[in-house]
Amino acid sequence: MKLPQKIADFLWVTVRIWKYNWLSDAKNVKGKPILYHPLLLKGKGKISFGNHVTIGVKASPLYYSHYAFLEARTKDSEIEIGDHVAISNGFSVEAYSKITIKNNVLIGVNCSVTDNDGHHLEPEKRNETNLIALPVLIEENVFIGDNVSILKGVTIGRNSVIGKGTVVTKDIPENAVAAGIPAKVIRFL
**Is 119 tagged catalytic?**
yes
Predicted confidence band of residue 174 (pLDDT cuts 50, 70, 90): very high
Predicted confidence band of residue 1 (pLDDT cuts 50, 70, 90): low
pLDDT digits (tens, 9 = 90+) for 44-54: 999 999 999 99
Q: How many Cβ atoms from other residues are within 10 Å of residue 2's Cβ?
A: 7
Please state the pTM of the whole predicted model.
0.93
Predicted confidence band of residue 9 (pLDDT cuts 50, 70, 90): confident
- Give the integer Cα–Cα distance in Å for 133 and 118: 9
Q: Which of 37, 66, 119, 120 is catalytic?
A: 119
pLDDT digits (tens, 9 = 90+) for 11-31: 778 899 999 999 999 999 999
Please tell me the number of Cα atoms within 13 Å of 24 on its side-chain side.
Answer: 22
Measured in whole angstroms, the distance separating CA 155 from the mean position of its chain's CA atoms is 14
